[in-house]
Amino acid sequence: MGIAPDRIRVLPTDAAGRIDPVGVSAAIIADRSEGCTPTVVCANAGTAAAGAVDPLPELAEVCAAEGVWFHIDAAYGGFAVLAPRGAVALEGIERADSLNIDPHKWLFQLYEAGCILVRDAGTLEHAFSIGHDVLQDAVWGTRHANPADRGIQLSRSFRALKVWMSIQAFGMAAFRAAIDNGLDLAERAAEYVRDSSTLELVSASLSIVCFRINPGDLSEDALTDVNREALARILWGERAFLTSTMVNGQFVLRLCIINRNSTWDDARETLQAVERYAAEAIE
């Protein structure tokens, strides 16, 4: 967006990966006292690593009180609002001035269909509309916006068509059920990990469960090695596509369940495969 890195404040998060609204408020005040003009707070509705959701209602309050734009990165997590428990988890998302959301993630669309929602489309037109002479015949009428006036691209493909078509074909109920299924499987997977004697639950939010093999008597370096090895083994040997990430500086295995075909058997067998490896590694 052309914002220089030294103009961006990255604020600390708690153990669950959530930003502290009081810290945001303090950072805005501190920046103003240094002659800066804070313009936008960017919060997360489901981080890519751990699915962490910032305290959105409190951040909305801070932004409203300070007159700062409130943006939410909902690329992965935003579609959780379509399931009742997801809507509870993302309460406050409706107060964003803008949010980005990826139908190619949790709305099961073909790659890619990144999307931005804004409270007032006029703000986009104000920024992006450039009215070139060669476009003077492109009259769109009063109730038909020209997408070129709302973003950087002029020529663009019709990405919205596939989203619209699939919703027409399958109906929203099917999407709600598929998202609810992902949330359900993640909850069950987190429970499974919590009850396991060899696995440690590191975080669980939306459809992402981060965990690691931890028999309790290994150093952090040894734990990283064991878990790295387990990941390679699952990737090459089992039918699960498991990934890894870092949570609070720890190497963790990351189960992200957003395939509409995933079943509890898939999740359970994946976790059992990790446990099998754990048992061998600990021997």
Ligand X SMILES: *Cc1c(COP(=O)(O)O)cnc(C)c1O
- CA 42/CA 256 separation, integer angstroms: 23
Nearest to ligand X of 54, 102 (CB atom): 102
Instruction: Look at residues 177, 243, 166, 250 and name the one whose alpha carbon lies nearest to residue 208.
Output: 243
Nearest to ligand X of 138, 161 (CB atom): 161
Nearest to ligand X of 116, 161 (CB atom): 116
In the complex, minimum distance from the CB of residue 115 to ligand X, in angstroms, rounded to a whole number: 9
Binding window for ligand X (CB under 6 A); candidates: 32-40, 73-81, 127-135, 149-157 = 73-81
CA dihedral 224→225→229→232, nearest 10 degrees, is: 60
Q: Which residue has the tokens 């598929």?
A: 178
Check binding of 79 to ligand X (CB under 6 A). no
Binding window for ligand X (CB under 6 A); candidates: 20-28, 72-80, 119-127, 243-251 = 72-80
In the complex, minimum distance from the CB of residue 15 to ligand X, in angstroms, rounded to a whole number: 19
Check binding of 48 to ligand X (CB under 6 A). yes
Check binding of 97 to ligand X (CB under 6 A). no
Largest CA distance in the chain: 75
Check binding of 151 to ligand X (CB under 6 A). no
Check binding of 114 to ligand X (CB under 6 A). yes
Q: Among 17, 21, 25, 47, which residue interacts with ligand X (rule: CB under 6 A)?
A: 47
Nearest to ligand X of 75, 199 (CB atom): 75
In the complex, minimum distance from the CB of residue 170 to ligand X, in angstroms, rounded to a whole number: 22
Binding window for ligand X (CB under 6 A); candidates: 3-11, 19-27, 69-77, 175-183 = 69-77
| HEC string for 142-207 | CCCCCHHHHCCCCCCCCCHHHHHHHHHHHCHHHHHHHHHHHHHHHHHHHHHHHHCCCEEEEEEECC
Nearest to ligand X of 49, 193 (CB atom): 49
Nearest to ligand X of 49, 253 (CB atom): 49
Number of residues that bind ligand X (CB under 6 A): 7
Check binding of 75 to ligand X (CB under 6 A). yes
Binding window for ligand X (CB under 6 A); candidates: 68-76, 133-141, 142-150, 196-204 = 68-76
Structure tokens given for 251: 């190497």
- CA 265/CA 62 separation, integer angstroms: 44
- CA 92/CA 113 separation, integer angstroms: 24
Instruction: Look at residues 40, 62, 50, 66 and name the one whose alpha carbon lies nearest to residue 18.
Output: 50
Nearest to ligand X of 25, 207 (CB atom): 207
Check binding of 76 to ligand X (CB under 6 A). yes
Which residue ranges make up the site for ligand X (CB under 6 A)?
A: 47-48, 73, 75-76, 102, 114
